[in-house]
Structure 1
Amino acid sequence: MFDCQNDDEGEYFEGLYENGHWDWNNHTQGLIFISDLTSKPNDVKILPPATIIGPIQFKDDIGLIEQQRFKKRYQRKSSGETDVVFLQDIKDIVIYTAPISILNKSVINILHTSAADRFLRASIFYFQYYLQIADEMNKRILDLENKIRTKNSIKTESVFRDNLQDLRLLITKEYCNILLGAEEYKKYHHLGPKKKSRSMSKKESVIFESVLRISIQIIWVALGRKKINEIELEMHRIFKSKIFNMAEHKLAHNYKTTLTLEELCVLQGHCFNPNNKKLNMRAPLMNELTCHRDVSFMVFGLGVVKYSRLNSRLRYMERVLIAPEMMFSELQVTIGIIGLPRARFNTMLREIKVPAPTTSSGASVRQSMSRLASRFSKSTGTARTQKLYDDIYLPPQDFEEREHLPEYFPTESYPNKTCNHQHRLKWLARITRLRSGRRSAKIRHP
């Protein structure tokens, strides 16, 4: 049994306008809400968590004192000279800098499950490739001013589009586990673990919004803290319909108008459901499941089911989902800064940049280094500018080798990855302490 699911749930998810009625106020000339619940003056009133509305600000730029406190109490201890960046390291930083209003026991427990790790890895992997292809398409559109569009251009862009759709499918299969309450999400299903109780829609919405916004911050930190607007827009686009896309409404303009038809075709694909209307609709991410295209059935079990035979493309995706971070360099897996040497980053996982020397001796060193770099670039044919992490190169699809349904489906699965139990308990204790402090302050200063 997965040990991260044994905590009692104690959150209070009652709505702000329940157990009361509305009445007209002649003084304010407007409706006011009057609660029907009577409370004694000496009673301690425990306030429910506020509904998540509006932008959430993470305190990512914290001072040195706060960084030292984080390093002492919450940062994972180094495991030696070959220590690399773990996904847990990024989660710890995001949880530490997140506002207390979006944190509760359920969110912390969900973030420390193997299913959530697969979801976060798939999301980081997708957004890294998405931003990479977005830059490539921008260059291709600019090149059209001097070049002619050919059949090879269409073929190359179709490969980009299919790759993005396959990576979105990795997120979709993990998102389906959340909706269905499968595996470790069973305890947090809106109908209860046995799916027989009354729907707890308010609790589900608070958990979903909190996990979604924390995931955006995790992706941003994992990708070197770059292009937060693009990440937020795409995250809301695939998980929410146009009506509920808060990120797009916040910008107050339609960002699709800034993209050409070719860019939209590649970046968003062709898996749309035109029958969705108003509230009777589903997230665009779910359209990837019903899209009519050639997809291997084994994609839906990657990272969970043990397949005896996988092609190079599926094997690479499986490693992205479940391979240990220490083996990323050996397996040539790239997921942002995950798997890179931890010594390259400071406490908050910002890249440590060594300043160039300014002395005369430093000038001679720079000249010698530039000569060596130029010789190296000429011999290897690579650019001298070094990126924070490598680009993603997916193995090509093999359409010649058609898959046939096996006589029986594999029943053996990978064991659930044991969560960092010590870190989970630390964050639960911190949230309890912060919430109790806020409640005491509100009682003392009503």
Structure 2
Amino acid sequence: MSKIHPIDVILHKRDGQELSRDEIQSFITGVVDGSITDARIASWLMAIFQRGLSRRELADLTSAMRYSGETFDSAPLGKFTVDKHSTGGVGDKTSLLIAPIVAAAGLADPMISGRSLGHTGGTLDKMETIPGYNTQLSLEEFGRVLAACGASMIGQTENLVPADRILYALRDHTGTVESPNLICASIMSKKLASGLNGLVLDVKTGSGAFMRRDEDARHLAELMVATGEASGTKTVALLTRMNEPLGRFAGNWVEVWECVDILRDRSHPLSADLIDLSITLAGWMLFLGGKAESADEGKLRAAALLHDGSAYAKWIEMVRLHGGDVSVFKNPAAHHRPAAQRVLKAEHAGTLTGMDCTEVGWAVQRLGAGREVPGGPVAAHAGIEMHVKLGDRIEAGQPMITLFSEEGALLDTPERMLRETLRITHEPYERQPMVRAVIAAADL
């Protein structure tokens, strides 16, 4: 193959031409080896943002990024490997329930997770509130944990999809973060690099989602399903509602606490939506992995594994193999030690008919659950407890949200943000289904 100059690749895309596989591969190679300048990478990203990519270009870009560094070989596990990815929400802790359910069903879930991003929480931040839990395993260690118990939750290794780290940092500085094609390539390259046979995507829509409009979420879901299928990975996407925090808690340790209670079959009524979504997603994973004849049957089996203690046994095994102290699960409420807390009460009676869930997420982050600067610390015990759900009847003076922080001075601004965004009216409220649509290869 003759040398392809990066300027030619930039100009071809700028002018609306379809890039060849060789052009895309050459450019990504140059991104990783440092031979292409940040200015040229930024220009190429903007050209993609403005001109878009064909399905074939997107598949080639995802593949080039996927193989830009080391990848995980799941074949030695001898099991169908399947994972779930969420586009991000508030109180979205389904991964903590799904991974042990899937492992208990006899599949393997190699879950490479992320940290908090914007107003949304991060799985790694939650897991690291478990004393001793190590999220930074090598791929060899990752494989050993998966072979032993069928589930492992780690962070991205230094050499896994290095192209994505470089491109993502520049997207953040060039106004190209919102590109559906670049979002898809970023998500799918990391997921596919973990050697998946199957992938279930939870694409959020609503006031707490990055893609607020259903049509935008559907477009992204279709791109990701097509890209996954083109790579040989069975892929399905669910469009799910994110107009209020999922479950009872939003934060870091409090979300672990909620999931441990569910795994021990002693869940709170306000966790019902979290449980239903988790077993729905797990049901699709069991179906893709051949452990159920349909997604509905998979959901029933997932529920049984959750309630009979099988998933909890896998959770304990996984945490131990990661070096975590499982004694904290005996009484997770006692391990919750915020320095300050405050209860937000309703000022008048009515029905809770709405909120800006993104604003709720930012309030959680400002309590200390998120990062002030990239790479900064997060507070393990910051967060909120929801006492009400959309559609609930509210009485004056009724507790609506409890705020937790490790610094008392951090309570005022989040309380104001929450009070301003909660809408208590006398209007009727119609509850919406959690799953708005299912998108599979046959639908494309």
Q: Under TM normalisation by the shorter chain, which class is it?
A: under 0.3
Q: Which has the higher relative contact order, 1 or 2, with Cα contacts under 8 A spaced 6 or more apart?
A: 1
Give the TM-score, by structure 1 length: 0.26
